[in-house]
Structures are given as C-alpha cells and as structure tokens.
A and B are shown apart, each in its own frame.
Chain A
C-alpha cells in the first residue's frame, strides 16, 4: 500500500442541517488538507441537502474527556440537583410555573 494514503489525516465532520440548529457530528473522512476535507465531507455527508454548513476539524486537534475519568470529571454537577427546576416544590394551585 502506498505510504501517501496513510499520511492523509482524519477529520471529524459536523453538519448544520438548517439555520437555527447547531452543527452536529456526522462522521469522519480522510483528506490531504482542509479544503479537500470540506469537499469530501460535502460529497459523503450532504448528497441530499442534509446541510447548509459544514465544519471539518482535524481529529487529533479535538480535546475530549476520557470515559475512564468520567466519575470524577462529571461529579461536580452530579450532586447539584438544585440546578434543576423539578427540585423545587410549588403548590399545584399556582399557574404558569
């Protein structure tokens, strides 16, 4: 196998389906550079008007939390049930709340 293919980096692809929505991760592609990444992403992930905007990000540039440290990493929000509206008891007779 030729070495050049292996050296094409992996890009993660995010597509905004339409105005008003966030970009959502849809998969990944290989490309020699950023411009080719966008073209490949368009051909692979938006053949049926699935998007109005594409982000392609080098996979090795993404900082990700690790599942191994999930417990400690998300613990700060785990014990703060009072951040949720359902924590608070309001009499049933009170409207619009």
Chain B
C-alpha cells in the first residue's frame, strides 16, 4: 500500500466522489435532487419491466409449440425479475415498495411508452425481442456504469439476461422468414408497426430533453437520447438486412461522411400522447396490473397470517 492510498480514508463529499468517477452507495450523503431523480428514474424503469410482461404474456397460451412456450415463459419471468431487482435498488434510496406499486397503479409514476402498443400477431413476440429488447439493451448497457451503485449492479444482472431476450426474438423471426409467404408478411407487418415506437423508447430529441445535462453531470445518464437512438439504428440496419425485412423509413440511408445512418424522425406528438395516457393500450395495461394486485391480496394476507401464527408457535 502506498502513502496516498492510506489517505483514502478521509471522508469525501458527494461532489468529490462524482468527480472521481466513484460510485455513490446507499448510506452516503447525497443531494435531495439526486435522490429524487434516481428514485423517479429507477421506479419508472421497474414499472416498465413489470408492465412489459403483458404484451408478450398475451401470447403465452397461444405460442405455437412447447419449445416456444417455454422460451416465452422464461423471458416473461425474467422481466418480472428485472422489475424486482430495480424495485430493491429504489428501496435503498428510501422508497417504499408498497408506495411504488400504488404510484404505478394510480398513474402517479410512468412506465415506458412502448408497452402501450398491442401485440397483434405472433410475429410481434419476435419483433419485441429483437427491437424492443434491443433498444432496451442500448439504453441499459451504459447504465451499468451509473454513479449510483445499486442501480449499476442491478443493470449488470439485467443486461446479462437481455441478450437471451434479443436472441430468442431474432431466432423466432429467422424461423418465420424461412416459412410461408404469409409468415414472412406477418414479420414485415410487425416490423412496420414496432419500428417507430422502438425509436421513441430513447425519449424525445435532445433539443427537447431539458434534464439530460444535469443527469449526465451526476453520472446517472451516460449518453444523450439522440446518441443512443443513432447507435440503435446503426445496429439494427444490418440485422434487418440479414433477416430480409425492410425498415419502414424512406429517409433511412448510409451517410458515408458521418459513418452512420441518416434516418427520419418519429411522430413526436404520438409519443407525447402515449405518455399522457392516450396510447392504444394504456388503460388495459393499468387495469390488468391493478387486477393482479387486488386479486393477490388474499394470498398476501394468508401468508402474513401464517407467518404470524408460526412466530407465536415458536414463542409458546
């Protein structure tokens, strides 16, 4: 050990830790706004994982084979796990689990707009894995280096599992594209419907994202919305080509000078509408989440009563 390392035991302020690129841990002092921003971001992320089970869950009973059903079940179960990793990260900041659930059900906290679109055909399951989980991976990989320790660690676990999600989706699409004409058209139709909502997953354009600068200074956001969107487009184009589908954007072309693809802008007014609650499935998603919570009340009560009885038996 060197002399400078022994000095590491001097307490360092939040600002010094952030400047040094070190992680903030739950019991450290931190600005109220940093805590509040993180709770909102992590809760919204957790809610997205939980609500995200529903669009694909709709196909669990209709998957075409036992293999596909087992894969989809495992994927949906992972999303529940992701939600739980994230809720526990939010709790390290002082958030209460029951409050978080209530905030989602009562519409006080948001979840990703993407899950308010319907899954109309089985090809949607494949396209969600490929594009929606693909976009999520673009967003989440940089978050593994979040300045807040528990969030970064949760993201590392999530990212390890997301790779399976994307690959199972793409494999499903490859299989369908090798099938009948009708199956190929189902895939193209699903791509047409999901491409633009997937681009919206990165949030509004940088010019319309006022909190980005503060979040980047705090190390809880590592790239801007537009940077991540560009990365996603550049990754997806060769994948679409290999699959044999067309991405529904007439402006999409390779820009030799930038070494990136130029692409069209999504309909930002649609994003605003869906976030406000006016998407195709917002009401249905929240109603289903509320029903699951309310229908589970008797199970929670029974488990609580059982645990109390067991404790009494030990004391007696």
Measured CB to CB, the residues of A under 8 A from B are: 1-2, 4-8, 10, 26-30, 32-33, 36, 43-44, 47-48, 64, 66-68, 70-71, 74-75, 78-79, 81, 84, 86-87
Given contacts A33-B307, A44-B81, A44-B85, contact A4 B300 (CB under 8 A): yes
B9, A75: Cβ atoms under 8 Å? yes
Given contacts A27-B154, A47-B78, contact A81 B6 (CB under 8 A): yes
B11, A71: Cβ atoms under 8 Å? yes
Measured CB to CB, the residues of B under 8 A from A are: 1-3, 6, 9-11, 25, 27-29, 74, 77-78, 81, 84-85, 88-89, 91-92, 96-99, 101-102, 150, 153-154, 157, 161, 297, 300-301, 303-304, 306-307, 310-311
A44 to B96 alpha-carbon distance, docked (Å):
19
A32 to B310 alpha-carbon distance, docked (Å):
11
Pairs A-B, 4 closest by C-beta atoms: A33-B307, A32-B307, A32-B303, A28-B88
Given contacts A1-B102, A6-B96, contact A33 B88 (CB under 8 A): no
A7 to B98 alpha-carbon distance, docked (Å):
10
Q: Which of B6, B25, B306 meets A32, CB within 8 Å? A: B306
Chain B's closest residue to A26 (CB) is B157
A30, B27: Cβ atoms under 8 Å? no
B9, A74: Cβ atoms under 8 Å? yes
What is the count of residue pairs linking A and B with beta-carbon distances less than 8 angstroms?
Answer: 85
A23 to B299 alpha-carbon distance, docked (Å):
31
A67, B6: Cβ atoms under 8 Å? no
In the bound complex, residues from chain A placing their C-beta under 8 Å from that of B306 are 32-33
Q: Which of B9, B28, B84 meets A29, CB within 8 Å? A: B84
A36, B307: Cβ atoms under 8 Å? yes
In the bound complex, residues from chain A placing their C-beta under 8 Å from that of B29 are 67-68
User: Nearest chain B CB to A5's CB is how many angstroms away?
Assistant: 5
In the bound complex, residues from chain B placing their C-beta under 8 Å from that of A74 are 9
User: Nearest chain B CB to A65's CB is how many angstroms away?
Assistant: 9
Q: Which of A4, A66, A87: most chain B CB closer than 10 A?
A: A4
Given contacts A1-B98, A74-B9, contact A32 B304 (CB under 8 A): yes
User: Nearest chain A CB to B70's CB is how many angstroms away?
Assistant: 13
Q: Which of A10, A28, A47, A75: most chain B CB closer than 10 A?
A: A28
User: Nearest chain A CB to B304's CB is how many angstroms away?
Assistant: 4
A2 to B301 alpha-carbon distance, docked (Å):
9
Chain A's closest residue to B84 (CB) is A44
User: Nearest chain A CB to B20's CB is how many angstroms away?
Assistant: 15
Q: Which of B81, B101, B150, B300: most chain A CB closer than 10 A?
A: B300
15 contacts between A and B (CB under 8 A): A2-B300, A5-B97, A5-B98, A8-B304, A29-B84, A29-B88, A33-B307, A33-B310, A36-B307, A44-B85, A66-B27, A67-B27, A71-B10, A78-B6, A78-B9
